[in-house]
Amino acid sequence: MSHHSPIVDISRQKAEQETLQRKSIGFWIYLMTDCVLFATLFAVFAVLRPGTAGGPSGADIFDLPFVLVETMVLLVSSFTVGLGLLAARYGYKRQAIAWLVVTFLLGITFLVMEISEFRHLIAEGDGWQRSAFLSSYFTLVATHGLHIAVGLLWMLVVIIRLIRFNFKHTDLGRLSLLSLFWHFLDVIWIFIFSIVYLMGSLS
């Protein structure tokens, strides 16, 4: 960087700042398109929910206490990722890494619980092939799970980079997007929990 004049570096920094701002807006817009995606899946679920074809309905198969634990795991992970971001903002690198690792483990726990729930259903003969209701249930929940998996991969990359490299403001930018993503998935899950599980168990 030594061969640049200081003026250039300032303009460079400004450009990088603008890039970061653009990325943040772009990411918000991406999340909005993801909202549309989930909204479509919710609509499909709502339409196909009565289509049980003689098979089980939600009330027959949902294990509400189990899902409640799942939900708590994800909520706590949303909290810890926030703590990680906060630590990173104040430059406490080791704390940030620690909180991210905790979040990562909670995310894994959530996924494992979801998969075990799926496996249980399939073992009972209530797989996605059974009825339109189950098809839409599996697809909606698994799409959220897939997002969680992507988030975990992203988190892994961020953790590795934090461990290996010096902390840069671009890293902070990425981390705040990741935490945004994670909160977003949390909100989607709240909807899944209330619309799919709670309302499904009640009716």
Q: Is 53 or 112 the residue whose CB approaches other proteins more closely?
A: 53
Q: How far apart are CA 14 and CA 19, in angstroms?
A: 9
Asked if 197 and 58 touch (Cβ cutoff 8 Å), the reply is yes
Q: Is 153 or 190 the residue whose CB approaches other proteins more closely?
A: 153
Residue found under tokens 């570096």: 9
Q: CB of 9: closest distance to other proteins in angstroms?
A: 10
DSSP 131: -
Q: CB of 25: closest distance to other proteins in angstroms?
A: 6
Q: CB of 12: closest distance to other proteins in angstroms?
A: 7
Q: CB of 54: closest distance to other proteins in angstroms?
A: 3
Q: Is 46 or 68 the residue whose CB approaches other proteins more closely?
A: 46
Q: CB of 117: closest distance to other proteins in angstroms?
A: 18
Burial string for 32-49 (b: 16+ CB within 10 Å, else e) reads: eebeeebeebbeebeebb
CA atoms within 13 A on the CB side of 164: 6
Read off the tokens for 115.
């998969």
Which chain residues interact with other proteins by CB under 8 A?
A: 4, 8, 11-12, 15, 18, 21-23, 25-26, 29-30, 32-34, 36-37, 39-41, 43-44, 46-48, 50-55, 128-133, 135-136, 138-139, 153, 157, 161, 168, 170
Q: Is 1 or 90 the residue whose CB approaches other proteins more closely?
A: 1
Asked if 69 and 202 touch (Cβ cutoff 8 Å), the reply is no
Q: Is 32 or 187 the residue whose CB approaches other proteins more closely?
A: 32
Q: With 0-12 CB in 10 A as exposed, 13-18 as middle and 19+ as buried, what is 63?
A: middle
Q: Is 47 or 115 the residue whose CB approaches other proteins more closely?
A: 47
Q: CB of 27: closest distance to other proteins in angstroms?
A: 9
Long-range Cβ contact pairs of 17-23 (< 8 A, separation 24 or more)? 20/169, 20/170, 20/173, 23/173, 23/177
